[in-house]
Structure 1
Amino acid sequence: MPKETKNEQTLKEFEALFKGLYPQLCVFAHRYINDMDTSKDIVQDIFIKVWEDQIVFKTQSHTTGFFYKAVKNRCLNYLKSSRYKTTEHCDLADLEVYETETFFMSQAVTIETTAVIENAINKLSAKAAQVIRLSIKDYSNKEIADLLAISVNTVKDRKKGAYRKLRGFLGFLFTN
């Protein structure tokens, strides 16, 4: 079996970076421009630019921060564009809010937290994850039981076990 070259390894790392960040960056962009197709285009363009320019990042947090800032800036540029203003009737008050650091940080933290929680839920068994996702959507235990054709006690047991495992998976969020 041939040994991998440096370029192949770099491509694999870049693919892992793309797969890890792309979904949440698309959701983040959507919070600004409210159009998922355009959001996907913006995020893809940024990844292409990073790949073409061979940008190297020092740390994971630097990488994540760079992509969030780049998406934010690209979204703001899109919202300020004359094409968007004439077709979508962009409100200047919205733009002022979108440009604030507070909006940026709240959206980035929300998206990143959601991704961490989703990754933790994905570590649960399929049945427990299903119960937790329905619970997050505000389904009652009875509604979940009816929907999944299981007893209310089974729902409670799966939730109890899932919450215990999630506390273990997400314990790092609660340390001082």
Structure 2
Amino acid sequence: MNGKDDFIVLGVNQKDKKIWRDFYDRYYAALCSYVSKFLSVSDAVEDLVQEVFISVWEGKRIFSDSKELTNYLYRACYNNALLYIRNNQIRDSILSSLPSEEDFEDEEMIYALTVKEEAIRQLYFYIEELPAEQRRIILLRIEGHSWDEIASKLGVSINTVKTQKSRSYKFLREKLGNSTYSVLLSLIF
């Protein structure tokens, strides 16, 4: 490892804003290129890479050297890309499971399905507004993982998961309104 690498790792660990610019410039384009191998949506690629940088900034993890930092960045980008793909597949499967309009002659049924689709869209919109840890917990739950599995996957206690779940539910309930929130919870969770 050279002096510049040591300097960047030290700056990342200390959250030094000036060094973070160098760190960002050094890794951002390469990470975007890496993630674009998995995803074709350029906005999603950039967002996923940004989320990794944010998690490093907000996290308490201390990196011992540039190899550990680099491995962490690529692994986190890979995991975020897989999560993004899974979430879109789940969303698409929910929407594709809805019957097509030709299957219904009754306009009220079409209206009900439209409302349901819009409610699901709103749910995902507001899930994206959750803090990163809460968002990961809710998305893992939507994927069908138990609360214990989520705690294990994220390496946190079950109490942390329950606390974050409770905060997430409260936020979603406020954003969606109690009636829509209750219906969506029964459909998804």
Query: TM-score, with normalisation over the residues of structure 1?
Result: 0.42
Q: TM-score, normalised by structure 2?
A: 0.39
